[in-house]
Each structure stands twice: as C-alpha cells, then as structure tokens.
Amino acid sequence: MSSARRLAAKVLLSAGTLALLAGLAEVALRVLGPPPPAAASPLGLPGILEAGSPFTRPDELLLYAIVPHATTYPWYAIDAHGYRTTEFSDTKAPGALRVIAAGDSTTFGLGVLEELRWSSLLRRALAGLCADVRAVEVINAGVPGYSLVQDRLQIERDLLPLQPDVLALLVTGWNDSTLVEGPDDAELAAARRSVAGKVSRLRLAQLLGARPVSLGAPPPKAQPGSGTARSRVSPERAAEALSAVADELPGRLVLGIFQSQEQLHASPDAGLFARRVAELAAARGVPLADARPALAALLPYPLSLDGVHPTPLAHVAIARAMLAAVLPELDLPAPRAAWCRAFLAASAGDIAAQAETLRGEGAPPAFRELLALCAPDPGSLDARLAQHDASLPPAVLDWDPLEGRRARTRSAARLLLSTSRSAPRSAEDEARLAELAAHVRPADPLVACFADEAALAAAPAPLLALARAVVIFGAQLGLPVQRVDSRRGEAALAGDPAAAVALLDAALALDGDDEACRADRAWALRRAGRRDESHADFARLAEGRGALADFSCGLLAWEARDLPAAETALRAAIAAEPAMGYAHQLLGRTLLARDRLDEATRELTLSSVLMGSAGEIPALLAQIEARRKELAARDPAGPAAR
C-alpha cells in the first residue's frame, strides 16, 4: 500500500472514530443530561395554567404543530394526527372521496364548536348531497397561527400522502401580514432545514457553544413604528407558495378567501394576499371560494368574535362559498353531478331553467321527500306550518321561506305572493316590504331563486313548490340562508345606549323571536340604567333553550347570589358557545366569589381575549391576587394557590 493510501486510511479511521465518539457523546447527553427547555407555545392562546398540558410541540419543518390528543383546551377535540377533526385513517377507503381543509385558526375554528366550523358544515352538506352515491369525508387540518409558507410545507409533507380528492385552502392573510423583527417565515424554514441548522440543535454542538436555530417559537412581533419590521410572508412569497401548491395538486385544489372588516382595518396589507389568491386562481384555473361578497352584504351585523375570527354565522357564509367551489370538483355519478350543478344554479336565480334536472333521477332521496311534501298543494303545507305540525321535518318548520318559524316575519316572498293575488297592496304591506328591503339582509332566499320579483309572482304552483324545496333543502344540509337585521350592527356601533335601545326595539318589532337581538337590547338597557327592563329581557331569554338561555339563567342566579346554580348554568352556556366572552367573565366572577382562584384567573383571561378589551379584567385579577395573599396569611401551611 502506498504512503498516500495509508495516510487516507488513517484519516478515514480517525474521522470515523471521531464521528463514533461524537455520536456516543450526543446519546449520553440526551440520556443523562438535563432535558432541553420546553418550547413556549407560539400561539398565544389564553387560559393555559397547567404546565403539564402543552398544546403545541416543536416541529423541524413547520416550526410547531399541535400535540396529538392535546387536552389543554377541552372544547377542542384533537385527534392522533394533531388536528381538530374526526379520527381518520391515513389510507383512504376504496371508492371514498376525501376533502381536506387547510389553513389557519379560521379553518381550525378558533372560538366555535366543532360542528359550527365551515369544514364541519361542508362535511354535513356533502353528506346530504352525496352519501347515497359516494362516501365523502372532510378532514380539518387547519392549525392556528400558520402562514402560507407553513401551509405549503404542511401540504407537501403531511397532507398530500393522505390522497385528497380536493384540498380546500382558506387564506386569510392575517398571520402572513403580521409584522415581525428578524427573519421571515421562509427564511426560518430554510434555516431550520439547513445542515447548519440541524447541527446547531445537537446537544454536543450546544455544549461547545453553538446557538441552536430555534424550534417552536416565531420571531417577536414588531413594535409600532419599527423601521426594521417585515411581514412574516411577503405577497411575493405568498404567490410562490400558492403556485407551488397548485403545481402539486392539479385539478384538486380549491382556494378560499375570508377577511373580516376589522381584520382589514387592523392590517391593510392583508388585502394584498386576497388579491394574490384571486389572481392566481384566475391565472391557473383554480376554483375560488370568495366569501367576502356574502359577508359584506351582512355588514354592519357582527361577523367577528374578536376582530379576526368569524362567528358561526360567518362560518356558514364561508361554507356556502366552499360548497359551490368544491362540489363541481368531486367525481360523482353523472346524474348526481348534474343535479348538484342545477341545485347551485337554482339557488342563484336560475330555477326555471333547472326545473327538469331538479325533478330528475339525479335528485338525492332527501330532496325528493321534500319535493313530495311541498308539491301536491302548497296550501296544505302552509296549513300544517300554521298549526306547528310536529310531524314535519325540523328544517321545514324552521326554514320554509314562506311560513317557517325563522323566516316568516322576514319573508318578503310571502308578502309579494299574497299581494300579487289580492291587489291592491295595502299601505301596511308596502311599509313592511320597505322595512325588509332597508334593514334585512341578504335578499329573500325564495326571491333569489327567480330572476326577479315579477318572475316569483308569476311562477306556477309546481315551480314555486320546487323553489321552496330548494331553499329548505339548503337548510337541511346545514347551510340555511340566515337573514339578519342590520340595525343590530348599527346598535353595536352606537355610542349612546338610548340610541342603541331604539334601534334594537325597531328590530324586535319586526321579529320578536330574535334572541340575539333581545340579548343585545338587555345589555343596552343596562348601560342606559334601565335595569328592571333589562332583567325582564334576561328572564324572557332564560325561558328558552340554548347558550343565551343558559347564560341568562346564570346571570339571574348570580344576581340572586345562588353561586352553585350560576356556575352550572354558565358552564352550560360556555359548553354550547365557547367564545361567549361575557359568560367566561361572569363565570370568573362566580369562581372568585367561591375562592377558586386559579379557575377564576383562567376564565377572566379567556374573557379578556374573547371580548377584545381588558375592561374590568385587570381590577378583577388584582382582586384575585389580593385574595390569594389574604388566604395565605390566614393559613401559611396551606397551598400557595387555589
């Protein structure tokens, strides 16, 4: 062997020995050394007091991910994959259609129950439309705080192997446009995946002084007026990420847009991302689900829980837009696919041209049942609705566009049809129609099935029955056209409590069963100093069912100093509506009065975030600390915290 070869062999042997020793040292440090410090949750979600119950974990590619089966927030059921979704198999069932929803906290459904998120509503609608011909599953892979860079990486690594037939990516631009100091999301991702980044996270390298490229925590947010701030994702990087996803999912991608007006006011750059999404969708032929027009039509009605995240009503608007974009992309039998196209077109004003298809062989069984209920004699259905016939399907009782419980007082179609057959129209009817046109949005769903009001008035009975079935079927799918009174939004913006009460009185005169409006009136009456009238409104609400009824029971029990009853009712309200900030606040007060101080702190912290303002929270938290000290002074040997 030549001297050069001997030298090379010695070098290789030495390098191998060093590598082996380094590997053994790394193993020893990991086994015997102290554990690395836990990565702080990058989400900033409120209410975490239990250090042993983390919600996120570091992820080398994505920065962080949700801990599988995390129980930090009991109202968010996390599956084995770390997603807030129903459990699913990595292997798609033969013949099944798989839709995956991706995005940030809006897709995750922050602040709303699982069944009220847009992805869950989409799942229910697709089941009602397709289940008898194709099994359809919808997986929600949304993660709070994710940017489009993280979405792209998650899709490429984790979601593509799940074989989606359609991937619906909802873009808000909120996280992307957040201003930070330091590297942006793309630079962080590249640094984490680089050789230097991986080496820096070795314990041995850190022992020798290397500074690790961090996992689990994004760069700090920029301070106002910072000259070095930059967006987490630039519009150019966003377009690059979206283009890469479109390349990976040809014919299988749907893009969605959601932005609240409050969000755009707080971060005008967020609008740039919506434009980039729309431009890319048009250029690449990607279906676009743009919920903004439907939401804009509802303003100034409250559509945001906290200025960013949508209310359940806004989730319905998102789901309706997504359904219209996703349905045509699914591989359904030809008759059902044609029927679904006809259903979407009929709901948008083209029912006359779609009538034959809607009555044809492709109709879902549930729709045929509704059509049979409506078709023979609309008068008989009206009579049954007037008698509140309990044998009628709930969707008919609630959402029939002429006589349903949730539609009757706001049904412009009912007035138009009754007056078209008994001219002339009364002054009272004219005034009611004018009030509906001025304050109730969106357009009447039955009128919306026709080209215009004249076409509705001239429609023969079979076509009118078909239109009623179309509207009711949409509600049965979980996507009713919920009409709102804009005066409730105007009242929320009114600085004068008396003016707010007047607006809400006018709205309730139109629809006395609007419980959300009555709750707003009860609060406005309190602000105006009319507590007896406020108490009467809450007492009326307490007689009903649902979250508002439970909260009202809790409030009345609190005022009667029945603290156990107050706690029970308030917990029931929060279980039904987790984002009800004032329920969390009152529960915090109740727990403080019962000396359960840690629980009180949690509820008050949640309340301050959900209500968008600290309000009385700092003073209440100060009371908790004072009470904690008082209890410690009384019992020095007792627990430090309660």
**Domain spanning 56-329: which superfamily?**
SGNH hydrolase (3.40.50.1110)
Q: Which residues pair with 230 in a beta bridge?
A: 180
Instruction: For tokens 């590997």, name the residue.
Output: 23
Determine contact, residues 200/213, Cβ cutoff 8 Å: yes
Residue 592 has pLDDT above 50, yes or no: yes
Q: Token digits for 544? A: 């009903």
Q: Identify the band that residue 230 occupies on the pLDDT scale cut at 50, 70 and 90.
A: confident
Given pLDDT bands bounded at 50, 70 and 90, which one contains residue 17?
low
Instruction: Give the mean model confidence (pLDDT) for residues 221-236.
Output: 81
Would you tell me the crossing angle of helices 461-476 and 351-358 to the nearest 10 degrees?
80
Residue 54: the pLDDT is: 81
CA 485 to chain CA mean position, Å = 22
Nearest to 461 by CA among 382, 385, 364, 348: 382
Tokens of 440: 């109730």
Q: Which of 84, 90, 92, 80 is nearest to 140 (CA)?
A: 84
Which amino acid is present at 580? M
Neighbours of 238 (CB within 10 A): 28
Kindly list the domain boundaries of the chain, sorted by start residue. Answer: 56-329, 349-482, 543-634
Tell me the average pLDDT across 346-362. 96
**Distance, CA of 326 to CA of 156 (rounded, Å):** 20
pLDDT at 58: 84
CATH of domain 543-634: 1.25.40.10
* Pairwise pLDDT comparison (218 vs 571), residue with the higher score: 571
Question: Can you give the pLDDT at residue 366?
Answer: 96
Mean of the pLDDT values across residues 541-566?
Answer: 95
In 3-state terms the chain splits into helix, strand, coil percentages (rounded to 5) of 55, 5, 35
Supply φ then ψ for residue 430, to 5 degrees: -60, -45
Which of 277-286, 419-428, 557-566 has the least mean pLDDT? 419-428
pLDDT at site 640: 47
CA atoms within 13 Å, Cβ hemisphere of 599:
12
Q: Can you give the pLDDT at residue 182?
A: 79
- In this prediction, residue 180 carries a pLDDT of 84
Give yes or no for residue 208 having a pLDDT over 70: no
CA distance 573 to 580: 8
* Segment 538-553 mean pLDDT: 95
What lies within 8 Å, CB to CB, of 126 at 6+ separation is 97, 99, 136, 138, 323, 326, 327, 330
DSSP code at position 404: -
- The answer for residues whose C-beta is within 8 angstroms of residue 109's C-beta and 6 or more apart is 84, 116, 117, 118, 119, 120, 140, 142, 315
Question: What are the structure tokens assigned to 208, written together?
Answer: 């020798």
Beta carbons of 196 and 149 less than 8 angstroms apart: no
* Partner residues linked to 221 by β-bridges: 180
Would the pLDDT of 577 be above 90?
no
Of 112-116, 253-257, 469-473, where does mean pLDDT reach its minimum? 112-116
d(CA 101, CA 85): 10
Supply the DSSP string of 457-512, one letter for each residue: HH--HHHHHHHHHHHHHHHHTT-----EEHHHHHHHH-SSHHHHHHHHHHHHHH-T
Q: What is the 3-state secondary structure (H, E, C) of 239-282?
A: HHHHHHHHHHCCCCEEEEECCCHHHHHHCCCHHHHHHHHHHHHH
144-167 tens-digit pLDDT: 999 999 999 999 999 999 999 999
